[in-house]
Structure 1
Amino acid sequence: MTDFLNISPLPNYVDGKAFEGKGSYTVLDPHDTSKEIHKVSSITVDDVPAVIAAAKKALPAWKATSVIERRNIFLKAAALLRERIPQYIGVEYSETTSSEGWSGFDLTCAADHIEETAAAATLALRGEVATTDAGQRGYISRCPYGIVFGGAPWNAPLILSQRACTQPIIAGNVSILKTSELSPRTHFILAQIFADAGLPAGVLNIIHVAPQDAPAVVEAIIANPAVGKVNFTGSTRVGSIYGALCGKYLKPIVLELGGKAPAIVCADADLHHAASAIKFGGWFHSGQICMATQTAIVHESVAEEFLSILKSNMPGLCASGNPDDKAPLRGLFTEASAKRIKELIDDALSKGAEVAAGTADVKGNVVQPLLLKGVTSSMRIYKEEVFGPVFSLLTFKTEEEAVVIANDHDYGLAASVFSRDTNRAHKLAEGIDAGMVHINGATVHDAACLPHGGWKQSGFGRFNGLEGIREFTQTKVITVNDAHPFPL
């Protein structure tokens, strides 16, 4: 078996083989950009026809492959991934700003999702018999789109890249997956495990693209008539570019974009549990999660007690770019990201916000965990996605006010409600504009068996579960009719 991960420069994976593109770039250490991690062979627009041709060639046979056979390959790939988690933690940790804990979490969740995709496939793709007119039988089947083009980000590199290709593939499509230029080797784990599991050549094609080549390459792929559907996970800014291109070429798309997750804490909530979940949701992986808790909305009668509990759980919670420090959090992926967060903090503090917990400290790409209080709607941090280890504490008097605050931004991905009264919590959850609301659970939650996606500028379409597989199918109706007279 070919060891794709250790080929230098890191190749593309096309037609089941290492593929050298006409471009290249270098991956730098995000904590010290003077250090080179590895070199990457990337494709340019001139390579797109070869990539499309490989996928097209594989499509007829894969489309005809039974769901049971597809499932068996997926289960083997998931088993290989689980066996290699200790090895692959090092791949993700060395290339990204993921901590060892987050890397293990990411890899384990990815294996869970591949297994669930395999398990759900037969039900998700089952056809239906429809009741129609007398003398007619109607059959509804789910058919693949053909080639599905997916783009995945760096922040949860394996769980987000696997769903971009595995859910289309299990549905009978073939996939072209564009890696993030910040985590190409981690994404390339998928090439290794699926090649070793026996996935036929050309069913999964993984390409790297240098940032300067991305606009031309992405448009060339989306524009190609053989590409039937697109999916993208990432920022709302880049997602709008993908969406515009798909509108231009009339291609359907799934978008999972930014978030501004609120967590409502009612007066009757278990405050220790709520504080633990919100600490996890706000600061895990330095807040670089689309579902990260951005606003804790706490009833005014318990706000001080809640804050006291949260602060008591903070000793030792800090970020560092130096692995020798053994800090639970690492830095952000770029200094530019940290600089933007510092601007959000400075803006809030200059307008009257106060430090409620943690430290307002940004050095290089390292942002220390921070909770602000006294945040108002005049401050940028009230509405903007942070994507870092900084969130706000706001208070409310009435449940109606809590829902207004929870919805007062452009996003709608995830949210939480904490209350011992399930009926109250459910009513609040129904009022929140989000694709996922977790009662007495953290906003960071991505169950493989449940549909995952957002409202408003958090995107549309769904990954995961039955809905995620069906998202990459189109329905076909076939009727069988008895002979009968027509009116003309």
Structure 2
Amino acid sequence: MSVQSILVLNKNFINGEWKEGKSSRSYDILNPYDRSVVASVRLATKEQLDETFNIARAAQKEWAKSTVEERRAVLHKAAEYLTVHKEEIVNTIVSETGGTLLKANVEHHLALEFLEESIKYADEIYKVKEVPGSAEKFNHIYKLPLGVISSITPFNFPLNLSMRTIAPAIALGNSVVHKPDIQVGLSGGSIIAKAFEYAGLPKGVLNVVLTDIEEIGDGMLTNPNLDLISFTGSSAVGRHIGGIAGQNLKRVALELGGNSPLVVLSDADVDQAVNAAIFGKFIHQGQICMIVNRIIVHQDRYDEFVEKFVARASALPYGDPSDPKTVIGPLVNERQLEKALQYIEDAKCEGATVALEGTRVGNVLTPVVFTNVDNSSKLAQTELFAPIASIIKAQTDNGAIEIANDTAYGLSSSIFTSDLARGEELALQVDAGMTHVNDQTVNDAPNIPFGGNKASGLGRFGNPWVVEEFTTTKWVSVQTTNRKYPF
């Protein structure tokens, strides 16, 4: 299959068929680097979405009866598709997201890992756990498929973040109605649909709807047939989803925004901290929820760190993301770029020092570095999603941890120190779902509890934690003798 074969997957995948949207509106998916049209999509309507949820409900009832062997066979075949068509998929990710070849390869690798990991826990449903009862009664506890999963994913890592929900849901006997960000509809939805079509997944178990909010409103949140809303995106939208889910008593898995600190303690290896911070800040132009958003450096290491960090940042190659040498590619769209430029102007007005001035080249923004940043400033408290680095000076090591915690978010974090035992001790004091000692903040794997605290979300992905999220627990007791009742 060629990239051109992927580009024609610009339709909805509903009930096992590729269907044109029925809206009068179309959407052009644009290459963020040169603004060329990657694909044009006729959007699905609210009526099509409602029909899709009905289809998913009926299909799930049958898929829930599948054997573990059947589920594993489908998952293996879907993984085979991703493996065989890696080059075309990677190139599509580059074209749609503006991510570099390095980023696209990392994303493909992660998506495949999540898919392969799901094979390991496909046997968790219907597995019997016995709980002590009495001589007259025994208790069995089961995990059963939850039902229909409503999946909503963002633009930045579309293949990986979509697969992170879809693969576990299917492995555990659920059906899925999936809406990727329309900007990345192919790599966030159509490629995955094609993989499971190739794998022989029964019709209606996975449905991919290419549309936008103007067409469907809150249809992905309010449909009576859904049982769980899985959302990855901003905290503001997450709060909206949480409110609706609470009113309708629906479960949620919310992976939201971040303001991840990278803390450099007084005994840190500065060179290694700089290496990590450069990668953790500038991969995918800073457009990752786990990205290093604040760099907090002990005053004894501050000047050395700033000098080396600025020198490295200023030399990063930028431009066409399809060039293997490129590190800094374009931001995803014009609106994100304008927001980034406004953050820069606001930071200057707030009094932060410009240590490295960035340049706009088309949709590319070269690295920007601010020093003498106040942690209470708008710059420090905003999830930037741009190649803008903020470096904050801490007077003490403990003070650095306090600064790290002084944010509404709590997704990822990192600490650099030569004392590993102390580093792990301090890691437990950081109010975040994940803390990495002597590594940067952008880390993910299919067998760890991925998720955040505070405004960064609810629930955890990863094996085995996702099993709890995507199943319902059932208690079955069996009375073996006639029970005598008091009345």
Scaled to the shorter chain, the TM-score interval is: over 0.9
Task: Determine helix, strand or coil for the equivalent of 1:58.
Answer: helix
Amino acid at match of 2:237: V
Give me the TM-score of the superposition, normalised by structure 1: 0.93
Deviations 1:3-26 (A, max 9, x none): 995474711001111122212322
Question: Unmatched 5+ residue regions in structure 1?
Answer: none
Q: Which deviates more, 448-457 or 35-44?
A: 35-44
Shift of 1:200: 1.4
1:41 CA displacement: 2.7
User: Bigger shift: 221-230 or 424-433?
Assistant: 221-230
Q: 1:449 to 1:387 in 2, by over 3 A?
A: same
1:138: Cα distance to partner?
Answer: 1.0
Could you tell me which amino acid in structure 2 is paired with residue 29 of structure 1?
N
- 2:18 matched to 1:18? yes
CA pair 125-159 structure 1, distance change in 2 beyond 3 A: farther
**Deviation for aligned residue 1:432:** 0.9
Counterpart AA for 2:301: V
Structure 1 residue 123: Cα displacement: 5.2
Deviates more, 1:278-287 or 1:418-427: 418-427
Corresponding position of 2:105: 104
3-state SS, counterpart of residue 294 of structure 1: strand
Corresponding residue of 1:165: 166
For residue 146 of structure 2, what is the amino acid of its counterpart? Y
Residue 123 of structure 1 contacts residue 466 of structure 1 at CA under 8 Å; is this kept in 2? no
For 2:238, the aligned partner's letter is G
CA deviations 1:193-225 (Å, max 9, x no partner) are 11111211111111111342141xxx3343333
Q: Provide closer, same or farther for how the CA distance between residues 327 and 19 of structure 1 changes in structure 2, counting only shifts above 3 A.
A: same
The change in CA–CA distance for 1:227 and 1:378 in structure 2 (over 3 A counts) is closer
Corresponding position of 2:30: 28
**1:388 has 2:381 as partner:** no
Distance 1:273 1:72, change over 3 A: farther
Aligned to 2:201: 199
Paired residues of 2:3 and 2:91 also in contact (CA < 8 A) = no
Offset, 1:459:
0.9
Alpha carbons of structure 1 residues 21 and 451: separation in structure 2 relative to 1, 3 Å: same
SS at 1:177's partner residue? strand
- Segments of 4+ moved more than 4 angstroms: 1-9, 321-326
**1:9–1:40 CA contact under 8 A, matched in 2:** no
Deviates more, 1:271-280 or 1:290-299: 271-280
5 Å-filtered alignment, 1:80-95, equals: 80-95=81-96
Contact conserved, 2:261 with 2:294, CA < 8 A, in 1?
Answer: yes
Partner of 2:247: 248
Partner of 2:76: 75
Q: How does 1:168-247 map to 2 (within 5 A)?
A: 168-187=169-188, 188-215=190-217, 219-247=218-246
The aligned runs of 1:326-337 (5 Å cut-off) are 327-337=326-336
How big is the shift at 1:420? 2.0
Tell me what 2:462 maps to.
Answer: 464
Q: Counterpart in 1 of 2:372?
A: 374
Question: Given residue 11 of structure 1, which amino acid in structure 2 is its aligned partner?
Answer: K
Tell me the alpha carbon deviations over residues 168-194 of structure 1, each in whole angstroms, 9 at most, x when there is no partner: 111111011101110011121101111
Secondary structure at the aligned position of 1:479 is classed as strand
Is contact 2:321–2:327 with CA below 8 Å preserved after alignment?
A: no
**1:271-420 pair list within 5 angstroms:** 271-314=270-313, 316-320=315-319, 327-356=326-355, 358-420=356-418
Q: Taking structure 2 as the reference length, what is the TM-score of the superposition?
A: 0.93
Q: 1:429 aligns with which of 419, 427, 431?
A: 427
Aligned identity (percent) is 33
Amino acid at match of 1:199: L
Q: How many residues are treated as equivalent by the alignment?
A: 483
Cα–Cα, structure 1 residues 7 and 404, in superposed 2: closer, same or farther, change >3 Å? closer
Unaligned runs of 5+ in 2: none
